[in-house]
Structure 1
Amino acid sequence: MDEREQVVSLLGRAGVLAAIRWAYRSAYGEVWRDFNPQGGHDQGWVGITAHKLLIDRLDRVFQAERFAVQPGESHVGRDVLADGIADSDFQSMPVIEPSTVVHADLNNSPGWMLGDWRWLMASFEYGRIDHIRWPQRSETKGMVARQPSAGGDDGLFSLADLPDLPPLESLEDAERLLRRTLVLAHAMDLETGETQLFLGRSRWNFDKADPWVWRHDLSVPPPSTSVLPVDPVPDDTDVPGAQRHLPRAIGEA
């Protein structure tokens, strides 16, 4: 397996891809329901609102930050997880064991981590996933994009081209995690409500070339006023040997 296959397989088996897709569907479903361009809402409103709602939904489904299990308790109360979201969203929320994924920010950029892999969020213009310019983004996103990668032959800094690079296991924890930091890129079409979601290894494209070493499409059907239940099968069926994980919805007995 190459890096992409390893990551997608790992996150798929753990149910994390299904949880991310649920968070994305729930967040953008609410954005689209509330979006009112005649009332003054614009791309800026969508971007800020989606960002905040995605943080909430990812923390909620992974039971992190304000949804973390309290000392002396074994789980988070159903009333806490359901508070503030649509009932259909709560009923379709996948069950992920607490501490499976932890909140792991990088320089105040919201992030989450499973094992040795972390992902940060980044918005982009709908339909232009391959036109992101990382040199024009934040310093943190640029630092992530400049990391060497074993994910493909066309990356700016591939491990094969850097034979003197210190091995991953010799690095301090923060440096090792930085080298294994991915980007969860999200977007919405303001005209149709259609959305896009990708998880991938960013590439420092100062040359205006491909912004990705690799990326994996996690998009789901566009949100509507009646949010559909999440597809229980993670989007990892194209990975050889990947196991299908069927997360139980929290609302089920």
Structure 2
Amino acid sequence: MRSGNDDADLDLLYDQLSKRDIDTMPRLDAGLVRRANLNGSPGWAHGERRFLLASSVFGKIDQLPWPQKSPTKQRVARQRNPEPPQPSLFEDLALEEIGGLEALVAAGQDLDLKTYVVAHSLDPLSQQVELVFGRPRLNSGGGQAWHWRQNLLGTPTSGGGRRTETTPLPTGPNTVPDAPVRLRRPAEERRDDRASGEQ
């Protein structure tokens, strides 16, 4: 049973959303996402992962200057790369030593949760919006602003897990037979057969 406060919360949540947005919004269990601010920077957590917000100049999300952001955002961008590039022989030997020192410094500054950033921007004239999710990279002296990032507006909407009226219903079981498939034996068995004279 919902209380009057719950209804007021829903009215606030749904304010300015279209009926389509409301209908396709996924329903989440209470407590699934919790507030997890970091040094006063608004954040939310799911499990062991925290998400912070960052704004950007429109069209400049890929060049976001993390060293010019708050100390908290710089600390998040200083996190170790979860998937460092594979080293190659005789390449960047001096950089490996520097990288080792950076890893020691970063280990002393590890955050309590793995922290990701949701970056957003808006062009006030065209009303175009950018929204990305990713792992920021402290780009002192320029360079890439992200270890990786995903454009959240470039992915198709999930529909919130609900069937819409335009979605066709299944017509029944698929009666098309599977393609004939012949499995090959491993090469070692075939060699053994040839060696013993079997074909």
Per the shorter chain, which TM-score range?
0.5 to 0.7
CA 248–102 in structure 1, closer or farther in 2 if over 3 Å, else same? farther
Where does structure 1 differ by over 6 angstroms across 4 or more consecutive aligned residues? none
CA distance in 1, matches of 2:139, 2:150: 18
Per the alignment, residue 145 of structure 2 pairs with 211
Q: 1:185 aligns with which of 91, 112, 119?
A: 119
How far residue 165 of structure 1 moved from its aligned partner, in angstroms, is 5.3
The structure showing larger relative contact order (alpha-carbon pairs under 8 Å, at least 6 residues apart) is: 1
Per the alignment, residue 231 of structure 1 pairs with 157
How far residue 147 of structure 1 moved from its aligned partner, in angstroms, is 1.3
Identity within the alignment, %: 33
CA distance in 1, matches of 2:9, 2:47: 26
Q: Is the 8 A contact 1:201 1:214 kept in 2?
A: yes
CA distance in 2, matches of 1:91, 1:78: 16
TM-score, structure 1 normalization: 0.49
Structure 2 counterpart SS, 1:77:
helix
Contiguous gaps of at least 5 residues in structure 2: 87-94, 164-199
How far residue 106 of structure 1 moved from its aligned partner, in angstroms, is 0.3
The letter of the residue matching 2:128 is E
TM-score, structure 2 normalization: 0.61
Work out whether 1:85 is the aligned partner of 2:15: yes
Structure 2 counterpart SS, 1:126:
coil
Superposed, 1:169-180 pairs within 5 Å as 175-177=111-113, 180=114
Q: Is the 8 A contact 1:196 1:220 kept in 2?
A: no
The letter of the residue matching 2:61 is I
CA 190–124 in structure 1, closer or farther in 2 if over 3 Å, else same? same
Once the two structures are superposed, residues 91-140 of structure 1 have per-residue CA deviations (whole angstroms, 9 ceiling, x without a partner) of 44320111111110001100011111111000001111121111111111
The aligned length equals 147
- Choose between structure 1 and 2: higher strand proportion: 2
Q: Is the 8 A contact 1:82 1:90 kept in 2?
A: no
Once the two structures are superposed, residues 8-62 of structure 1 have per-residue CA deviations (whole angstroms, 9 ceiling, x without a partner) of xxxxxxxxxxxxxxxxxxxxxxxxxxxxxxxxxxxxxxxxxxxxxxxxxxxxxxx
CA distance in 2, matches of 1:147, 1:123: 19
CA distance in 2, matches of 1:146, 1:100: 27
Work out whether 1:103 is the aligned partner of 2:35: yes
CA distance in 1, matches of 2:34, 2:144: 30
Q: Is the 8 A contact 1:151 1:201 kept in 2?
A: no
Q: Is the 8 A contact 1:203 1:213 kept in 2?
A: yes
Which has the higher Rg, Structure 1 or Structure 2?
2
How far residue 219 of structure 1 moved from its aligned partner, in angstroms, is 1.6
CA distance in 1, matches of 2:141, 2:132: 22
